[in-house]
Structure 1
Amino acid sequence: MSTSKSKLFLKRFVLMLLIVLAGTNIGGLPTTVSAETSTSIKPVDEAAGSSPNLDDAAELETFIDSIINAQLEDMKIPGAVISIVKDGKNLLAKGYGFSNVEEKTPVDPETSLFRIASTTKLFTWTAVMQLVEQGKIDLDADINTYLKEVKIPATYKAPITMRHLMTHTAGFEDGGVGYQITTDQSKLPVSIAETLAKHMPARVKPPGEMIAYSNYGTALAGLIVEDISGMAYNDYIQSNIFDRLGMKFATVQEPVPAELAPYAAIGYAYENGGFVTKPLTFEGGFRPAGSGSVSAMDMSRFMIAHLQDGRYEHTQLLEPETAKLMHAPAFKFDERLPGMNLGFYELRMNGQHIISHGGADPLFNTELYLVPDQGIGIFVSYSGGEGGSAAYALAHEFFDRYFPVQESDFPPVATEFEQDLEKYAGSYQFLRRNHSDIDKFYSFLAQISIGVSGNRLVIGSGDEQQSYAPIGPNLFQAVGGTTQIGFRTDESGKVTHFLMDFLSSEPLERTPLINRTSLWLPLLAVSAIVCITILLVFPFRIRKIRTMPKPQRWAERLSVATAAWALMTGVATFIIVLNMDLVDRLSRITTSLHLYLLMPILLVIMAAAMVAASVWVWKNKYWSAVKRVHYTLAALAAVAFSLFFYHWNLLGWHFG
């Protein structure tokens, strides 16, 4: 497999894990999951004398056209929009495809509203910083001093501050099953305060310790904007950001206001060879984390303001000092790797320092990149298809063309660190996950395994594998690429955490044995095999069972019923729970889920009965010793299944 394909595999692999972990967290997933996606590291075009000129508008448009038009065709995307700014001016603003496929309405960069999901957070954080510079919010004060209706419990001695919220280091667990979104417009508008009070996640880490991307934390910040300003969140953003920048085709209201509704792009899924309209999802009480719908030209105004230290034309959205503070690193996993600013997360592409934010829901994918040192901003959004992959492919093509990497930019391999690689090997799980509710189960498969091959670390397997060479203490770089990964160690030198530089808002930690798929999958497989043998043997023992004394007959029947129920519950777990439709999962607790959750409870009862029966069987020396061992193994298999359901919060109705 080519290097580019292996890198694309890694990107999709990580994206898959995040989808499994968070159900894409509609309106809340930062879609920065791309590794290296370009076909090669492109040297400067010496024949032409220099790199292509970004100020050549015609050449830029032709270049972007070639990428997005191909993406729409290859990735089955109905519509896309892009705007690129530089030095306070618009270089390109263009729509592609259709905002309404049925009516053949072309995408208009000036008026077509694309849903930007988590990119909305940048409006929330900008609003917060406006209140900071007015002296109404202290970044390091306890947020409970600002909240009126919602109070955060003092789980840890240190309080949560606005700085923690803005860097996603507040320490909240993740969640969303059954309540994060709604598809029912009649339920809107929803109170932010009531929503956050009802669905408060547990605090699972001391504040300031580590990043764990949080929609809840951003929604809290939006609530503080309401409580401090005395204005509804929607009204504050409209008045203090959109109106001041002249953003006439922008809103955080759900659904979009009637006067803007005709301009809203429709989201589609590609099914059976055509585009199918799907219902929109709404954030409700979590809207500060992802309710925005904006045109590309209006996002240009917002980007220019941030690139010019808060100024757009004659409007000062933020004071220069405030803007610089917002754009500066505020939390670093490793000083050598991208970190978190106040609301923006950092990226590096081809040596360029980028501050960014993206967002995704089932129908739209958006990315916003700012390159402060170059005065460049890029906003791109796709409706449907593989928009997440498309956005990052476009970004890498852009930076490869206009800011190519030279071979001299690659750091040398640090051979002195090639001998001690085994300590990095193992399983890692995202810090962004749930601990308390049924949501926990969705992190079961969201683990990354790091191995060692020769003197390199590897992610993936076979041909679809990315290798990393050491370039410094606890720091590695992709072989043939620029992606870097870093590790943290404790005082004893034991590796505790892992970060990929292309996903700076999503660190991982060592997976404890009790959470590892390498423990549970073999255990469940062996347990399932034992249960299957019980069922396979049963037909051949029916006649013999009929002649047994009543206690033995009931013990046999119990083993068969328990084995069958364990297998049915295991299969139902992956069919009903894991494969539940994403929108259903995050918008409501379905009847099928309610009914399913009876199954593990009944299994536990049957498993307990089998354990008791096993003791009775041995005490009374029923059957042969081999049969008794088989029976006991069946009881233990049922117990193993029960422990799995208990550990992953599938035993009972644990809803957030």
Structure 2
Amino acid sequence: MIWRTFCGLLALLAMSLASPVWPQTPSQTQNCPGPDIDAAALRIEADARIETMRQAAHIPGATLSVVYCGKVILQRGYGFEDIERGARVDPEQTLFRIGSVSKTLTFVALMQLVEQGRVDPDAPAQTYLKDLNLPTFGGRKILVRDLFTHRSGFEDRAAGILFNHGTSGIIGLRQWLDQTMPELVRMPGKKTVYSNYGATLAGLIVENVSGEPFHAYIEKHIFGPLDMRATSFREQDMPRGFPTLDPQLASRISTGYFYRNGAFEPQPFTHIWHAAPAGSASATASDMARYMLGILRGTELLQRSTIERMQQRPYPDNPTAPGYAWGFRTGWIKGFPTFEHGGSAYTHFSAMVMVPDRQIGVFVSVNGADDHDAPRKLATSLVEGMIPQAKPIPGWSAATGLTPAELEKHEGNYLIDRTNYSRLSKFLGPLMGARKVVGQPGGTLNIQGGAESGVYRRVAPGTFHDPETGSIVQFTYGPDGRALRMSAAYGHYGFDRIGWWQTLGPLDWCWLLWLCWLCGILSGFDRAGWRARKHRACRHLSRSLPL
């Protein structure tokens, strides 16, 4: 079983790397930046790729939508929304939990208020959150723009409090934000460290400024204009007093599954209502196509100039590596800037990848997978096939090797900074988020551990690219040129340089403490023996000395 899974994942990787260009003809669509796509050829290729992905990553059901030049050119469903009932996925009817793709809806709503002049992105977030007492760090307040870019400075306390299996502990947005406020552990605006808490704060700002409940605002100002009738932040089976998802929509939400011991095990519905702006939305692939068209057209939701502004990074300190703009992640596919986001909702995994310059958008969601990144890999490969010719990434040059002295300044251990700093779970960081950087002949860097694993070559000052996986990381340096921090391949958090002792996990510390205790015991015996020998020697000497 392990060998078959390994081979399957290799097949999935090969699928994600080999991206043919779809048959194309001169476009008949006005203002389309590229040639028309052969939708039939795209469908055949997408079907083959998704079936390969389903087998390799044990995916029970998947849904897909593709938009191009103002039109929906493909909508597909694969596998089952519910295995026990034999219900198959329908891209127009089956809802998938889209996880953190929900955040983009939250930030579009917040940007609507910015566009209307009701929210100042450079104002402290506290201005619009009178019912909370936000902390400061070194006198620096959290700005609204820091929420858009995940630079609030909060530690990550999502583990154990984000997903709720059942409704007994469900509380409201304000109450959750007040009860679970994390520690502010870094200067706001300094580093991008992904924050569910920060995105939820953004949702509360929407609620406070608009005077409407968050979910109602989204329904009126985003879902309504785009005719997204099968998308909602509401959840099913909510307690009395909470908004509840329409039963007809609830019956169409795909069941989430874990693959264990050769079988798919259904999992109960997971509630995220207390942090709804960060990830509670459910949607069909058809509705997500409408959403992508709304973003790419830039007319129904926001002015085109505002959409273009959202694609620019307000903190442009890493222009040659992936990072966050105004609520969306940005990177490149074949040299063209992307506008995208991924999502995870316990059992469901999603990816939305858009290339505004080419008017392309792809949405993929699954209701279970061994490889949680499979939807993004598939979406990226489909987008690659829709772009006929690549162009250089701005700021990049031909790959160059590092000198031995430069390699030494990058080598070492790095620990994830998206972690909990104020509770016992911080000791799990070395087990879950450690990376090791080793210099190699030819001036390349071998990064070991996690999604960043691979061999990287320098393509810009501080920026390194792995041509095998397409991953990009960036280093920041101290005054002496020594690397202090490495960004994650996706650009949503980073890794701080640490000493070897900080890479030890709990078991390592137990062994170390036991060894110290043992050495102490042995040392105690040795000291006792030394004192006895010293006492005997002194007595012998005193007898031999003359009076």
Q: Normalised by the size of structure 2, how large is the TM-score? A: 0.84
Question: What is the Cα deviation at residue 473 of structure 1?
Answer: 2.7
Q: Distance in 1 between matches of 2:92 and 2:20?
A: 36
Judged with a 3 Å threshold, the aligned counterparts in structure 2 of structure 1 residues 44 and 166 are, in CA distance, closer, same or farther, namely closer
Q: Distance in 2 between matches of 1:268 and 1:481?
A: 28
Per-residue CA deviations over 1:468-517 (Å, capped at 9, x if unaligned) read: 223343232325564332211122322111124x4111222212455223
1:350 maps onto 2:339 in alignment: no
Code of the aligned partner of 1:117? G
Equivalent of 2:71 in 89, 105, 108 = 89
Per-residue CA deviations over 1:315-337 (Å, capped at 9, x if unaligned) read: x2112222222222222342222
Q: Which residue of 2 aligns with 1:422?
A: 408
Q: Which residue of 1 aligns with 2:312?
A: 328
Q: Distance in 2 between matches of 1:510 and 1:411?
A: 27
Q: Distance in 2 between matches of 1:427 and 1:156?
A: 28
CA contact (8 A) 1:354 1:372 kept: yes
1:114 maps onto 2:96 in alignment: yes
Judged with a 3 Å threshold, the aligned counterparts in structure 2 of structure 1 residues 367 and 515 are, in CA distance, closer, same or farther, namely same
1:228 maps onto 2:228 in alignment: no
Judged with a 3 Å threshold, the aligned counterparts in structure 2 of structure 1 residues 241 and 93 are, in CA distance, closer, same or farther, namely same
Code of the aligned partner of 1:376? I
Code of the aligned partner of 2:221? N
- Which consecutive unaligned segments of at least 5 residues does structure 1 have? 10-33, 535-609, 626-656
CA contact (8 A) 2:163 2:272 kept: yes
Equivalent of 1:292 in 281, 286, 291 = 281
Richer in helix (by share): 1
Q: Distance in 1 between matches of 2:312 and 2:524?
A: 68
Judged with a 3 Å threshold, the aligned counterparts in structure 2 of structure 1 residues 530 and 204 are, in CA distance, closer, same or farther, namely closer
Equivalent of 1:134 in 106, 116, 132 = 116
Q: Distance in 1 between matches of 2:62 and 2:511?
A: 45
Q: Which residue of 2 aligns with 1:305?
A: 294
Deviates more, 1:270-279 or 1:467-476: 467-476
Judged with a 3 Å threshold, the aligned counterparts in structure 2 of structure 1 residues 303 and 440 are, in CA distance, closer, same or farther, namely same
Question: What is the Cα deviation at residue 263 of structure 1?
Answer: 1.1
CA contact (8 A) 2:415 2:496 kept: yes
Pairs within 5 Å for 1:408-487: 411-415=397-401, 420-445=406-431, 446-454=433-441, 455-460=443-448, 466-479=454-467, 482-487=470-475
- Aligned Cα root-mean-square deviation (Å): 3.5
Q: Which residue of 1 aligns with 2:219?
A: 238
Percentage of identical aligned residues: 31
CA contact (8 A) 1:245 1:301 kept: yes
Q: Distance in 2 between matches of 1:118 and 1:66?
A: 27
1:369 maps onto 2:353 in alignment: yes
Deviates more, 1:292-301 or 1:480-489: 480-489
Deviates more, 1:288-297 or 1:249-258: 249-258
Q: Distance in 1 between matches of 2:294 and 2:76?
A: 20
Question: What is the Cα deviation at residue 440 of structure 1?
Answer: 1.2
Q: Which residue of 1 aligns with 2:494?
A: 507
Code of the aligned partner of 2:496? E
Judged with a 3 Å threshold, the aligned counterparts in structure 2 of structure 1 residues 387 and 80 are, in CA distance, closer, same or farther, namely farther
1:154 maps onto 2:109 in alignment: no
Q: Which residue of 1 aligns with 2:484?
A: 496
Per-residue CA deviations over 1:390-441 (Å, capped at 9, x if unaligned) read: 2133134324433367799994233575652110011112221111013313
Moved over 6 A (4+): 41-46, 404-410, 613-620, 622-625
- Secondary structure (helix, strand or coil) at the match of 1:260 reads helix
CA contact (8 A) 2:364 2:379 kept: no
Code of the aligned partner of 1:342? W
- Secondary structure (helix, strand or coil) at the match of 2:342 reads strand
- Secondary structure (helix, strand or coil) at the match of 1:139 reads coil
Q: Distance in 1 between matches of 2:372 and 2:176?
A: 29
Q: Which residue of 1 aligns with 2:61?
A: 79
Judged with a 3 Å threshold, the aligned counterparts in structure 2 of structure 1 residues 42 and 109 are, in CA distance, closer, same or farther, namely closer
Judged with a 3 Å threshold, the aligned counterparts in structure 2 of structure 1 residues 465 and 112 are, in CA distance, closer, same or farther, namely closer
Question: What is the Cα deviation at residue 370 of structure 1?
Answer: 0.9
- Secondary structure (helix, strand or coil) at the match of 1:373 reads helix
Q: Normalised by the size of structure 1, how large is the TM-score? A: 0.71
Equivalent of 1:183 in 165, 178, 181 = 165
Q: Which residue of 2 aligns with 1:583?
A: none
Question: What is the Cα deviation at residue 195 of structure 1?
Answer: 0.7
1:283 maps onto 2:272 in alignment: yes
CA contact (8 A) 2:17 2:381 kept: no
Q: Distance in 2 between matches of 1:408 and 1:341?
A: 21
Q: Which residue of 2 aligns with 1:360?
A: 344
Question: What is the Cα deviation at residue 388 of structure 1?
Answer: 2.3
Judged with a 3 Å threshold, the aligned counterparts in structure 2 of structure 1 residues 294 and 427 are, in CA distance, closer, same or farther, namely same
Deviates more, 1:80-89 or 1:429-438: 429-438
Q: Distance in 2 between matches of 1:385 and 1:44?
A: 27
Per-residue CA deviations over 1:218-239 (Å, capped at 9, x if unaligned) read: 0111111111111111111111
Question: What is the Cα deviation at residue 38 of structure 1?
Answer: 5.5
Question: What is the Cα deviation at residue 284 of structure 1?
Answer: 2.9
